[in-house]
Chains A and B, each alone.
Chain A
Amino acid sequence: MKTTETGARKGASLRPSKLGSKRQGSSGRLARANDRALFLMIVPAIIMYAVFYLYPTLSNLRYAFSEWDGLQEAKFIGTKNFTRALTNDDIFYKVLGNNIEFTGLVVIFQTGLSLLFAIFLLKNTRTSVALRTLYFFPTIISSVSVAMVWQFLYEPNLGPINTFLNSVGLDFLALNWLGSETVTLRAIAFTQVWFHTGQMMVVYIAGLQQIPQELYEAAEVDGASRWQQFKSVTWPMALPTTAVVMAYTTIQSFRAFDLVYAMTQGGPNNSSSILVTLIYLTAFNELRFGYAATQSIYLVIFILALTALQRRILRTRY
């Protein structure tokens, strides 16, 4: 209740100049009452979010400086966790590398394919609309279900993919998709792209439909080929959409906990683990809560740096 009052007062003190013009006729007292009412409407959200999400998230900062199995008292150990992750933890580096590879693969292929299909299906013909519906379909299925299906498809001995490859004489390609240290991460990345390309295609279609038709007509008058039209009209005009798609795909790939956990739990030998699964396993399988909190903080720093970098690159290219 206390916060409410100060908040309302603060709001009231900020408004007069702006408010006078906006709500003519309402007396100052009424405006203040209204502002308090508006603030009260926000309070439930603030409480829910602050207590059950913000506070637990920020408590990482406390746990990260301790050695703690989650049961007994936490033991303060200073910055040991932070230095250990950077200097004496091969698994952390391996998983960081996995995450970079996973994100890189997914961003490149998901962005490229969704742009390609968006161009193919831009016109609102009946076939296009039907195909868009089909391509979007995986988006609504749960990661766990998708994982089950692809576990079957990837099954090394009797699974459809290897059966097919063997039957057409490509035996050397029939790999142990989810059981070998070299291909598992890529196999999961493939599933992730399969899973979400349709969703990003829809984002692209919305973006591409904003491009004025006259630009294409002018290009055609100039005798530009399809590829030239793409290079000088579509691509530059779609750059803002590309920025959105890439940023979202990046974040989405970092969030792929459900899919990775359900498909391999990060195995074999951490070869398909990404940072979010590593954090979970460090905390709940190894019971190293303090260390997992440290990993979480590194992950947050990493994502913030990556988003800032991405934004910078795309901004300079506008």
Chain B
Amino acid sequence: MIYKVGRAVGLTIFAVLILLPVLVVVFGSFKGDLELMTKPLALPERWSFDNYRNLIQGGEIVNNFRNSVIVTLFSVLLTLFISSLASFGIARMIHVSGRVLFVMFSLGLAIPAATSIIGIYQLFVKLNLTNTLHGLVIINVASTLPISIFILSAFFRQIPSEIYESAAMDGAKPFRLYKSIALPLSRPSMGAVAIFLFVITWNDLLYPLLLITQSDLKTLPLALLDFRGEYAINFSMIFTAVMVASIPMVAMYLAMQKTFVSGLTAGAVKG
């Protein structure tokens, strides 16, 4: 009895703690700032799209959105391609050399990215890669390779080698085995890794902050920081920008919950 009541109370409190801020943001993006401040939780008096219109007419956010899409798409696809190739190689290479590489890649997993920023910044300045979107793609790929390889090579190892052997007997080369056996079999884990990469790349602040200063090249999280300066305490505008930045992820989450949860927890457990 005590357990049941405690459970219900605990679950309700945490549910409210998550729901309330979400509602404040969603409703707030349709309100004026005064209304948001005085009645943060109430439904908007009228559902006005003025904030969205002003934001988009400001122009910059469209740019930021496009930059985020470009950077995320290329980063995720490239990481997936390079890491799946490497994972296959590592998993299929017999013993020592494969394991050495595996250790090398997993070395960086526990260390926060922020410890590398000085060297990365200097290198990217030297190579003229600051203030470019492809520079951002490069650092995203390089920094997410270890975790992707970690997850994928664990999966590739689980594929029984008999499956490869029969194909190898027919003379199939490693790349063929990768393309026509390993990849199709690994679709679920590739999906999970893809989602994981999507979320961390789309949401990342550190690397854009480090490498991008030109406002037309900024991605959404970085632009959001500028917004705060620009709109000072105009939270309804800020929340509108938060909505724009979050909607793609939220839509994907609602459409593919299972892949999201497994992808983000795989990243957690392995990371």
Contact = CB atoms under 8 A, between A and B. Distances in A.
Interface of A: 7, 10-11, 14-15, 18-19, 22-23, 25-26, 34-35, 37-42, 44-46, 48-49, 51-60, 63, 70, 113, 116-117, 120-121, 131-145, 148-153, 155, 158, 160, 194, 197-200, 202-203, 206, 226, 244, 248, 251, 254-255, 257-258, 261-262, 276-277, 279-280, 283-284, 289, 292-293, 296-297, 299-300, 303-304, 307
17 contacts: A39-B93, A42-B93, A49-B105, A52-B123, A53-B116, A135-B15, A137-B22, A140-B264, A142-B246, A143-B203, A144-B222, A149-B242, A152-B238, A160-B24, A248-B269, A276-B112, A297-B115
Interface residues of B, number: 95
Given A45-B86, A140-B249, A279-B114, A19 B94 contact: yes
B18 A137 contact: yes
Contacts of B206: 257-258
Contacts of A133: 257
Given A41-B178, A244-B269, A296-B118, 15 more contacts: A38-B88, A44-B86, A49-B145, A54-B108, A70-B121, A116-B10, A143-B221, A145-B224, A148-B228, A149-B239, A152-B40, A202-B261, A255-B113, A289-B118, A296-B114
Contacts of A52: 120, 123, 138-139, 141-142
A23 B165 contact: yes
A49 B142 contact: yes
A48 B10 CA distance: 47
Nearest to A200: B268
Contact of B169 (A25, A49, A55, A151): A25
A300 B118 CA distance: 14
Interface in B251-271: 253, 257, 260-261, 264-265, 268-269, 271
Contact of A140 (B121, B204, B253): B253
A59 B264 contact: no
A63 B116 CA distance: 12
B19 interface: yes
A261 B173 contact: no
A52 B11 CA distance: 45
Interface in B7-39: 7, 10-11, 14-15, 17-19, 21-22, 24-25, 37
A49 B88 CA distance: 17
A117 B11 contact: yes
Contacts of A120: 7, 10-11
B221 A38 contact: no
B82 A48 contact: yes
B173 A57 contact: no
A148 B245 CA distance: 12
Contacts of A41: 85-86, 88-89, 174-175, 178
Interface of B: 3, 7, 10-11, 14-15, 17-19, 21-22, 24-25, 37, 40-41, 82-83, 85-86, 88-90, 92-97, 101, 104-105, 108, 110-123, 138-139, 141-143, 145-146, 149, 161, 165, 168-169, 173-175, 178, 199, 202-206, 209-210, 220-222, 224-225, 228, 233, 235, 238-239, 242, 245-246, 249-250, 253, 257, 260-261, 264-265, 268-269, 271
Nearest to B129: A52
A194 B260 contact: no
Contact of A18 (B10, B94, B116, B265): B94
Chain A CB within 10 Å — which of B10, B11, B41 has the most?
B11
B15 to A, nearest CB: 6
B271 A251 contact: yes
A148 B117 contact: no
Chain A CB within 10 Å — which of B118, B206, B242, B257 has the most?
B118
